[in-house]
């Protein structure tokens, strides 16, 4: 007995050591985004909330950011964090409470480790399916489910009576065949839900265990579980031993269970016995799911914040002024930070390739979304209106639908135009607007569209077309990124500069790469002749 207790304590200590080793570090592992996103997809019908759309999520490479911030123990924690990162929260008090919990778990090592140890009971893959059963409004149900109790009972009784009368072997075989047919028919109906049921007991066990954690100051999630501990125990008892977590079984026992299940209908009985209980208490189980998942997600965010160099809470304002100081991109190691203060207009950003234009608008997008979802940004300070971010950054040909690069871009911008009628709700981030068409039409259409979009909302757009600086002067603030040439060496400083871009270094770069002198001279001659010819004709 003492040896058993010693082994248990030793295993617990090893788990704690692993938690401490992983704290503050990204977790490198395979992430199945189909499963991780499933909880969020089930909630997308909620029309009262605004969500980060798929295109914006992909444009800003937020899966890569999720890889960095995800340090969850459980699958449900991953799912909940994924959902939180998509949901624009309008109520700042909810964001403040969420960040207060994150900060407390960041500082209180003992508390978070107690919670994490309890969460390990739902660290297996089947926990991803719990969300399906707690949110589904159409779980398969049969009012004749009591019949499934009778069939296995007849099997057992007929087998037991064989020694007394050999004829019962035919009865036993007949009933077993009926059970096999029933298993084949009904297991298909419940297959998509049973993985969640098999993890439900593990989840309830973890929830009950977390409810027993004592805290010096109350935590809403733990208090909720504590106040509903009686209900959780009742649910566990009613779900009963029929719901077996098969992932916890060794191979030999699992094979035996599967064979018995084929003839004795264990899974079918478990499902139909449990589904009535689940439907009756679906709201309570959903609330417990959110409480447990939120604890895991907040510990994950706390671990992330532990090792980033600089972050701050946002200040939401009613005006249209945007300000941020020393903001940087979370996916770039040793990223250069940038500052923009008191910006009340849209922004046109020019500069050469690789100078930092696209990264800059991505930095704004990521940090604006984080400010409205997790209540922090990668900046020394940030002040912003509660805008919804929409992006047009990655644009590819859609060969399957016969759409060109330019047509795909037109569709995206068209959606922005439809949304722009809602005043002061959107921040449109556009990279190289209309780059798929000829110069004159690109300048004309870009000017008209950008003026239209910025009349009611905010636009941050990058371009190589320096002519747009003159065309949009007065409507947009002008910024640029520069390339530096010192001692015949070329580099970027990635620091945004106020004002329009006055010149370029493209021809100088050709010269540095030892292009023939004739090419350099002719390039300069042509450049001088082409300087603003279209604008000149218009004037």
What is the pLDDT confidence band of residue 243, given thresholds at 50, 70 and 90? Answer: low
| Distance separating alpha carbons of residues 505 and 481, to the nearest angstrom | 12
Average pLDDT of the residues in 462-471: 91
Per-residue pLDDT tens for 165-177? Answer: 888 788 888 888 8
Which segment of 71-75, 153-157, 293-297, 424-428 scores lowest on mean pLDDT?
Answer: 153-157
| Residue 197: band (very low, low, confident or very high) from pLDDT cuts 50, 70, 90 | confident
Q: If you search the block for the tokens 């992330």, which residue do you land on?
A: 304
Instruction: Please tell me the predicted confidence (pLDDT) of residue 247.
Output: 57
Both tokens of residue 207?
């929830």
Q: Which tokens is 247 given? A: 């992932």
Nearest to 497 by CA among 392, 335, 347, 367: 347
Cβ-based neighbour number of residue 486 at 10 Å: 7
The alpha carbons of the chain give a radius of gyration, in whole angstroms, of 30
Mean pLDDT, range 136-159, rounded to an integer: 76
Structure tokens, 129: 């399916």
What are the structural domains, with CATH classification, of the chain? 25-307 (1.10.1420), 315-504 (3.40.50.300)
Q: Report pLDDT digits (tens) over 368-405.
A: 999 999 999 999 999 999 999 999 997 664 444 445 66
Q: What is the C-alpha separation between 469 and 499, in angstroms, rounded?
A: 9
pLDDT of 104 reads: 97
Residues 66, 85: Cα–Cα separation, whole Å: 9
Smallest CA-to-CA distance from 501 within 487, 486, 488, 483 is with 483
Q: List pLDDT tens digits, range 49-102.
A: 689 999 999 999 999 999 999 999 999 999 999 999 999 999 999 999 999 999
Sequence-separated (6 or more) residues with CB below 8 Å from residue 453 = 346, 416, 417, 420, 428, 459
* Cβ-proximal residues to 418 (8 Å cutoff; 6+ apart), any chain: none
pLDDT surpasses 90 at 138: no
pLDDT level of residue 538 (50, 70, 90 thresholds): very low
Query: What is the mean pLDDT of the segment spanning 263-267?
Result: 74
Q: Is the pLDDT of residue 534 over 50?
A: no
Give the pLDDT confidence score for residue 306 in this predicted structure.
96
What's residue 398's pLDDT? 47
Half-sphere exposure of 231 (CA within 13 A, CB side): 16
Average pLDDT over residues 153-181: 82
Q: What is the pTM of this model?
A: 0.87
Contacts of residue 455, Cβ cutoff 8 Å, sequence gap at least 6? 420
Task: Look at residue 110 in the predicted model and tell me its pLDDT.
Answer: 95
Q: Which residue has the tokens 């990668």?
A: 378
Q: What is the structure's pLDDT at 248?
A: 59
CB 60 within 8 A of CB 101: no
Give percent of the chain above pLDDT 70.
87
How wide is the angle at C-alpha 73 spanned by C-alphas 227 and 333, nearest 5°? Answer: 130
Element (H, E) at 410: helix 405-419
Instruction: Return the axis-axis angle of helices 251-264 and 168-211, rounded to nearest 10°.
Output: 120
CA angle 313, 318, 323 (to 5 degrees): 50
Give the per-residue pLDDT at 400. Answer: 47
As a 3-state breakdown, the chain gives helix, strand, coil percent values, each rounded to 5, of 60, 10, 30
Strand-pairing partners, residue 431, are 462
Residues in Cβ contact with 167 at an 8 Å cutoff, skipping those fewer than 6 apart = none
CA distances from 192 to 74, 122, 139, 257, 287 (A): 20, 19, 10, 19, 22
Residues of the chain above pLDDT 90, percent:
52
- What is the pLDDT, as a whole number, of residue 536? 40
Tokens of 513: 């790469």
If DSSP codes are grouped into helix, strand and coil, which group holds residue 110? helix
Q: What is the pLDDT of residue 539?
A: 37
- pLDDT averaged over every residue in the chain: 86
Say yes or no to pLDDT of 229 above 60. Answer: yes
More confident: 7 or 343? 343
What is the rounded average pLDDT of the residues 455-484? 92
Q: What is the pLDDT of residue 152?
A: 78
* pLDDT (tens digit per residue) in 310-365: 999 999 998 889 999 999 999 999 999 999 999 999 999 998 878 899 999 999 99
Task: Look at residue 253 in the predicted model and tell me its pLDDT.
Answer: 65
Question: What pLDDT shows up at residue 402?
Answer: 41
CA distances from 313 to 98, 124, 252, 289, 368 (A): 12, 34, 53, 27, 11
pLDDT at residue 167 in the model: 80
pLDDT tens profile 433-451: 988 778 888 999 999 999 9
pLDDT for the residue 472: 95
Query: CB count, 10 Å around CB of 299?
Result: 27
Q: How far is CA 386 from CA 96, 157, 426, in A?
A: 15, 68, 8
Dump pLDDT digits (tens) for 486-533: 776 777 899 999 999 876 667 777 777 788 888 888 888 887 776 654
């Amino acid at each position: 007995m003492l040896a058993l207790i010693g082994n248990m304590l030793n295993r617990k200590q090893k788990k704690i050591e692993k938690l401490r080793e992983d704290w503050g570090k990204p977790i490198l592992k395979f992430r199945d985004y189909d499963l991780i996103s499933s909880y969020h997809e089930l909630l997308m019908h909620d029309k009262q909330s605004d969500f980060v759309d798929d295109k914006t999520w992909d444009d800003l490479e937020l899966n890569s950011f999720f890889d960095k911030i995800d340090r969850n123990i459980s699958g449900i924690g991953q799912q909940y964090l994924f959902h939180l990162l998509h949901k624009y929260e309008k109520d700042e008090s909810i964001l403040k409470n969420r960040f207060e919990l994150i900060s407390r778990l960041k500082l209180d090592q003992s508390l978070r480790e107690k919670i994490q140890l309890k969460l390990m009971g739902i660290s297996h893959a089947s926990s991803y399916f719990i969300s399906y059963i707690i949110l589904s409004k159409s779980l398969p149900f049969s009012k004749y489910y009591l019949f499934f109790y009778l069939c296995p009972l007849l099997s057992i009784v007929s087998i037991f009576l064989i020694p007394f009368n050999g004829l019962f072997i035919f009865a036993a075989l007949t009933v077993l065949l009926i059970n096999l047919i029933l298993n084949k028919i009904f297991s298909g109906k419940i297959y998509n839900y049973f993985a969640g049921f098999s993890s439900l007991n593990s989840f309830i066990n973890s929830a009950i265990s977390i409810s027993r954690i004592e805290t010096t100051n109350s935590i809403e999630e733990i208090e909720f579980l504590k106040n509903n501990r009686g209900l959780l125990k009742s649910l566990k008892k009613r779900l009963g031993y029929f719901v077996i977590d098969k992932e916890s079984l060794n191979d030999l026992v699992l094979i035996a269970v599967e064979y018995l299940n084929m003839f004795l209908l264990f899974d079918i009985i478990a499902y139909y016995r449990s589904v009535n209980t689940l439907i009756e208490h679906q709201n309570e189980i959903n609330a417990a799911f959110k409480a447990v998942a939120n604890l895991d997600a907040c510990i994950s965010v706390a671990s992330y914040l532990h090792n980033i160099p600089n972050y701050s809470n946002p200040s939401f304002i009613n005006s249209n002024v945007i300000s941020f100081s020393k903001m940087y991109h979370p996916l770039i190691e040793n990223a250069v930070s940038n500052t923009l203060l008191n910006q009340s207009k849209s922004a046109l950003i020019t500069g050469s390739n690789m100078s930092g234009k696209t990264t800059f608008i991505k930095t704004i997008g990521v940090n604006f979304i984080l400010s409205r979802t997790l209540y922090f940004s990668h900046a020394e300070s940030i002040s912003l209106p509660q805008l919804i971010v929409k992006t047009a950054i990655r644009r590819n040909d859609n060969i399957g639908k016969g759409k060109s690069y330019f047509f795909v871009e037109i569709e995206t911008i068209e959606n922005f135009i439809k949304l722009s009628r809602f005043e002061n709700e959107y921040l449109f981030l556009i990279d190289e607007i209309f780059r798929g068409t000829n110069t004159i039409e690109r300048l004309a259409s870009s000017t008209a569209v950008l003026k239209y979009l910025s009349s009611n909302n905010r636009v941050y757009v990058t371009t190589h077309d320096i002519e747009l600086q003159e065309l949009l002067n007065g409507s947009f603030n002008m910024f640029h990124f520069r390339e530096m040439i010192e001692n015949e060496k070329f580099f970027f400083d990635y620091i945004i500069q106020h004002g329009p871009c006055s010149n370029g270094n493209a021809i100088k770069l050709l010269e540095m790469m030892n292009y023939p002198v004739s090419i350099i001279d002719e390039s300069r001659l042509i450049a001088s002749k082409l300087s603003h010819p279209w604008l000149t004709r218009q004037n």
